[in-house]
Amino acid sequence: MARIRKTKYVILGLLTHGNLSGYDIKKIVENQLSHFWSESFGQIYPAIQELEGQGFIEPAEKKPDIREDKKLYKITNPGREELVAYLKRPVEEEKIRYEILLKLFFGGSLSDQEIIKQIMEFKARQEERLKEVAAYERELKSLLNISRDHVFYYLTALCGKNVYQAYIDWCNEALSILNDVEKR
């Protein structure tokens, strides 16, 4: 890994939008960031404790209507600075491991039919994802004017749409090429 841990910045970032608990953060990541990010409870809760120890977040007062055992946090000024410093740093080289390409690289050990099956399954999954993210993108496009943040949400969905479409296009090209090879 050696890539610096991002969980802390996800928490800081989400806390700039409002006070949240660990559970809230997990739900938001699942619901709104899932097409480009994931976090597990096993990462979130220890990271919260670390952030509190560093003074980057602190307990927030709860309104009386929320349950006793829920711990709400808010971001502090040093926390904001820490987040901004991270956001300004260049994006790290993401390590890429595409299993479909690995399997294709060793295609010599499979029959054409088996390879075609793998690509079709992969394509079907990308189509599902595209459908989801394209619906999300259309929704966000209509909300573009309601806040500056909505532009950013829209752009993340647009990226997903482009990338999934690129995979689907590649699947079609690959299937067509394999079909030509098979016939000759």
131 binds, among its own copies, DNA, none (CB under 5 to 8 A by kind): none
91 binds DNA (CB under 7 A): no
**Contacts of 132 by beta carbon, 8 Å cutoff, 6+ apart:** 35
21 binds DNA (CB under 7 A): yes
3-state secondary structure 132-174: HHHHHHHHHHHCCCCCHHHHHHHHHHHHHHHHHHHHHHHHHHH
Q: How far is the CB of 64 from its own copies (least distance, A)?
A: 29
Q: How far is the CB of 121 from DNA (least distance, A)?
A: 20
59 binds DNA (CB under 7 A): no
DSSP 14-57: HHTTS-B-HHHHHHHHHHHSTTT----HHHHHHHHHHHHHTTSE
Instruction: Give contact residues for its own copies (rule: CB under 8 A).
Output: 6, 9-10, 13, 16-17, 33, 35-38, 80, 83-84, 87-88, 90-110, 114-115, 118, 121-122, 125, 148-149, 151-156, 158-160, 162-163, 165-167, 169-170, 173-174, 177-178, 181
